[in-house]
Amino acid sequence: MLVLQIRGKDIDDDRVTCTGAQVATVLDFIAAVPALTGGDWYAGAVDGLGAQLTEYEDLEPILVPALADLLHRIRNIPQLLDGVFALVPRHEIPRLTGNCFSADGPMEPLIHNALVEIKAFGTSFVEVYTDQPSLITVVQQRFGGEVRKVETQPAT
């Protein structure tokens, strides 16, 4: 599994990281990658300053009925403090890797069957997890950032 850590300066040259606009920009870019069509987006543990996203605050993944609507709403949040967004193959239920579903949780993917998982870590960074090296390459070419390998727990 690979993870790409992106900071605000990589996204829009801002010293602040995880503004709503930055997270929405990364999600929008990833959602447009042709290899990722045909899945369902989930969001959870979303917490932001002035956020009106109560339906996604739960510490569990919630199906996103319209990604464009969610992206529009995220763009208006000054600062995301937490948030997990994942693309899961269509008609599959997200399978959690453990008991903690929050970007503040383990520094590893939180959903076993996610095609891609994006975490907003307060003012630190946006992380993109996937087992698809070509996706990491495309996202890194667009935004920059640092790539590292992470060990994952086997699916149960």
pLDDT for 59 equals 87
pLDDT for 121 equals 87
The one-letter amino acid at 148: R
pLDDT for 35 equals 86
pLDDT for 58 equals 87
pLDDT for 156 equals 55
Taking the chain (156 residues) in runs of 10, the rounded mean pLDDT of each run is 96 93 97 90 92 86 96 93 95 87 77 94 91 96 95 66
Q: Kindly calculate the radius of gyration of the chain based on its CA atoms and give it in whole angstroms.
A: 14
CB 57 within 8 A of CB 14: no
- 65-87 as b/e, with b when 16 or more CB fall inside 10 Å? eebeebbebbbebebbbbbbbbb
Domain boundaries, the chain: 2-149
pTM: 0.93
